[in-house]
Amino acid sequence: MAVSCTREVLLEELREAAVDVEARVAALQVEAWTRSSLQPRGGISRELCYDLSNSVFSPDGRNFQVEYAVKAVENGGTAIGIRCKDGVVLALEKLVSSKLLKPGANKRIATIDRNMGVVSAGLLPDGRHFTSRARDEAAQWRRMYKAPIPTSSLADRMGSYIQAYTLYNSVRPFGVTCIIAGWDSEAELAVDGQVGSGPTVGAGGKVDKMKHGGPFLYMIEPSGSYWGYYGAATGKGRQSAKSELEKLNLTEGTLSLEEGVKEAARIIYIAHEDSKDKDFELEMTWVSSLDGPTKGRHEEVPKKIREEAERLAKKALEDDDEEEEAKAEGGERMEE
């Protein structure tokens, strides 16, 4: 009896152990299958599984499609914006991809409203669609409020529009970063189609003797986020351009519009040093106060002023090269 009881106990323990082993094997098989299903074929990194859809985050909270859109922007020419005390300057390094292209054509800086312009870096068709949508927003604002759209309101609307293209699987993010420049009028303007006497204090009910408006500069990224800037840069040479913009101390508000044009040309030429083998055209626009050269309108910088700014920019680069050569020769003499 004792032997038979012991044998039954051992058999029961073996059965339980077998069941436990089978459960562990099954769990391991499920885990291996899960990993293999998440791992694409060809030995590609597991993270790249999450770049197939625009509406899926990776485990570490990244949206790869937006990051790829940023890479598309970095492949484009350098674009900058400078906010001056009496206006805003936009400048672009327009790379010439073919000698057959007509000089001065294929503009990359566009006018959104009379007092506002935009420059884009990245995919040209995306930039044109952005401009078209921005013009629709400005026109809709005029129809509704009988006045030009404020620069901050346009940046807010376009930021929301760009961000919507990062939410759905059926669309892709915009492959552009856009810099919006505008001058919000500080004048007391009558409201179009006004009925009656209107507000008793200031146009639109503003505080008496309070001045609004002025220069504004915003940059909208492919993610839809936007920020107000004193100086903004994007594109291939954005790092060197940002370094030069920081040297101007734009927060002090002492840079004039004419000086801003010269500095913008110089910065674009410095940013182009990384791709000397490619030809480019300098495209520049500006918008000033009502008392300035553009009378509150967004316009191209006159050819004479632009050519003078380019001449000074080239001269500054030549002077820098001569200084570097002199320093190199002095260092060699010291070593001797």
Q: Average pLDDT, whole number, for the chain?
A: 82
109, β-bridge pairs: 119
Q: Residue 1: which pLDDT band, with cuts at 50, 70 and 90?
A: very low
Architecture of domain 64-186+211-328: 4-Layer Sandwich (3.60)
pLDDT of residue 188: 63
pLDDT of residue 45: 54
Dig out the tokens for 194 from the structure. Answer: 């006004």
Share of the chain above pLDDT 90, in %: 52
Q: Encode pLDDT of 234-256 as tens digits.
A: 999 999 999 999 999 899 889 99
pLDDT of residue 245: 95
Mean pLDDT of 154-161: 96
223: amino acid identity, one letter? S
Q: Encode pLDDT of 266-306 as tens digits.
A: 999 999 987 777 889 999 999 998 889 999 999 999 999 99
CB atoms within 10 A of CB 206: 13
Long-range CB contacts for residues 96-104, cutoff 8 Å, separation at least 24: 96/278, 96/279, 96/280, 96/281, 103/281, 104/281
- Judge whether 94 and 105 are in contact, CB under 8 Å: no
pTM of the model: 0.78
Q: Residue 169: which pLDDT band, with cuts at 50, 70 and 90?
A: confident
Q: Encode pLDDT of 84-118 as tens digits.
A: 999 999 999 998 888 888 888 888 999 999 999 99
Strand order in the sheet with 226-228: 109-113, 116-122, 176-184, 214-220, 226-228
Q: Encode pLDDT of 16-37 as tens digits.
A: 665 565 666 565 655 555 555 5
pLDDT of residue 288: 93
Residue among 81, 163, 78 at smallest CA distance from 121: 78
H or E stretch including 250?
none
Q: Encode pLDDT of 187-238 as tens digits.
A: 665 555 555 555 555 444 445 555 668 899 999 999 999 999 999 999 999 9
pLDDT of residue 6: 65
pLDDT of residue 103: 85
Q: Encode pLDDT of 64-92 as tens digits.
A: 999 999 999 998 899 999 999 999 999 99
pLDDT of residue 59: 85
261: amino acid identity, one letter? V
Mean pLDDT of 158-181: 94
Q: Running DSSP on this structure, what letter comes out for residue 200?
A: S
Q: Which residue has the higher pLDDT, 15 or 252?
A: 252
Q: Cα–Cα distance between 200 and 197 in angstroms, integer?
A: 8
The pairing of strands 280-288 and 298-300 is: antiparallel
pLDDT of residue 10: 58
pLDDT of residue 228: 94
Residue 182 CA: distances (Å) to CA of 86, 150, 222, 290 = 11, 8, 21, 12
Long-range CB contacts for residues 140-145, cutoff 8 Å, separation at least 24: 142/113
Q: Residue 327: which pLDDT band, with cuts at 50, 70 and 90?
A: low
Q: b/e string for 11-46 if b means 16 or more Cβ within 10 A? A: eeeeeeeeeeeeeeeeeeeeeeeeeeeeeeeeeeee
Residue among 254, 255, 221, 224 at smallest CA distance from 238: 221
The answer on pLDDT for 3 being more than 50 is no
pLDDT of residue 283: 94
Where are the chain's structural domains? 64-186+211-328
